[in-house]
Amino acid sequence: MRQKRAKAYKKQMSVYTHTFKFREPYQIIVDNEIVSLCQTSAFDISKGFTRTIQAEHKPMITQCCIQALYDSKNQNAIDMAKSFERRKCNHREPIDPSDCILSIVDIKGENKHRYVVATQDLNLRKKLRKVPGVPLIYMNRSVMVMEPISDASRLYNEKVEKLKLTAGLNDTGAGVVKNNEEESKEGEGEPVKKKRKGPKEPNPLSVKKKKNTPAVSQEEPKKKPNRRKTNKKKTDTEGETEEKGAEVETDKQVDDNEE
């Protein structure tokens, strides 16, 4: 019987993780009644949560529930509750624990913070069954039990699965259930304008690219000084003087020979 119950709980938590986006460690809101019952029956509440949820968890308790335990003057239960994480409920004066838990779980008809609720209050469990995506845990004598998926959660899960089939798995918005307000706002919007058909622009790959011609400068280039030309003139004059000197020497030699 334990194996069947464990399989059923695991299947339920997989629905909450895939459809309602629950993540580990699961946040468990604990009320004062289940804490006092576990303390009187010497039941280890943390081990009970691990066996039931079969995953990492983080027990939490509100200030109003702590105040109810202070009023009961059960010191052992108070010490057990102090080991849990404190969840701020923003109530300046303590109110009834069931109303406090309902105010932090049921936010505009949905479990926004994805809480698991562990409570012995039957009326509170009836109210939370109407909110989709709220796992409920309670104590049955000395056994911790998780309620089966509520009708509201089951209907929400069916809607999500139908949207996945109709929209397609490749659609990023598949499986997202929209509220009635969002659908009405989308319907009231302006109609979508149709695109006009006309000549399309040419393919940029088929168009020849324009050649970048260098810009011609209108200014005339500045003339460099003719240093090399002067050198050439000097070398030419030097060569002529040398040739003339050689001719004079040859004429002198010819005159001497004739004498």
**Model confidence pLDDT, tens digit, residues 133-181:** 999 999 998 899 999 999 999 999 999 888 888 876 556 665 566 665 5
The DSSP symbol for 26 reads E
Supply the pLDDT for residue 208: 78
Residue 231 inside a domain? The answer is no
Query: What distance in Å separates the CA atoms of residue 18 and residue 233, rounded to the nearest whole number?
Result: 99
Q: Answer yes or no: are the C-beta atoms of 145 and 138 closer than 8 Å.
A: yes
Q: What share of the chain is helix, strand, coil (3-state, %, to 5)?
A: 50, 10, 40
Residue 181 inside a domain? The answer is no
The total domain count for the chain is 1
Per the document, the length of the chain is 259
Per-residue pLDDT of the chain (259 residues; tens, 9 = 90+): 588 899 999 999 999 999 999 999 999 999 999 999 999 999 999 999 999 999 999 999 999 999 999 999 999 999 999 999 999 998 889 999 999 999 999 999 999 999 999 999 999 999 999 999 999 999 998 899 999 999 999 999 999 888 888 876 556 665 566 665 555 555 555 566 666 676 777 888 888 777 776 655 555 555 555 555 555 555 555 555 555 555 555 555 555 555 5
Amino acid present at 49: F
Residue 15 inside a domain? The answer is yes
Query: What distance in Å separates the CA atoms of residue 152 and residue 138, rounded to the nearest whole number?
Result: 19
Amino acid present at 254: V
Residues 6+ apart with CB under 8 A from 147: 125, 129, 135, 136, 137, 138
The DSSP symbol for 185 reads H
Q: H or E element: which one contains 163? A: helix 151-167
Helix, strand or coil, per DSSP, at residue 62: strand
Supply the pLDDT for residue 80: 93
Residue with tokens 């009187």: 40
Helix, strand or coil, per DSSP, at residue 227: helix
The DSSP symbol for 120 reads -
Residue 220 inside a domain? The answer is no
With both helix axes pointing from N to C terminus, report the angle between 63-72 and 32-40 in degrees, rounded to the nearest 10: 50
Supply the pLDDT for residue 157: 92
> Edge-to-edge strands of the sheet including 115-118?
85-87, 57-62, 26-30, 115-118, 136-140, 143-146
The distance from CA 150 to its chain's CA centroid, rounded to whole angstroms, is: 30
What residue numbers bound the domain in which 13 lies?
2-155
Q: Answer yes or no: are the C-beta atoms of 111 and 118 closer than 8 Å.
A: no
Residue 234 inside a domain? The answer is no
Residue 132 inside a domain? The answer is yes
With both helix axes pointing from N to C terminus, report the angle between 97-105 and 63-72 in degrees, rounded to the nearest 10: 170
With both helix axes pointing from N to C terminus, report the angle between 63-72 and 75-82 in degrees, rounded to the nearest 10: 160
Residue 67 inside a domain? The answer is yes
Q: Answer yes or no: are the C-beta atoms of 144 and 52 closer than 8 Å.
A: yes
Residue 257 inside a domain? The answer is no
- CATH number, domain containing residue 39: 3.40.50.1010
Residue from 179, 176, 135 nearest 159 by CA: 176
Supply the pLDDT for residue 45: 94
Residue with tokens 């949560």: 49
Supply the pLDDT for residue 141: 86
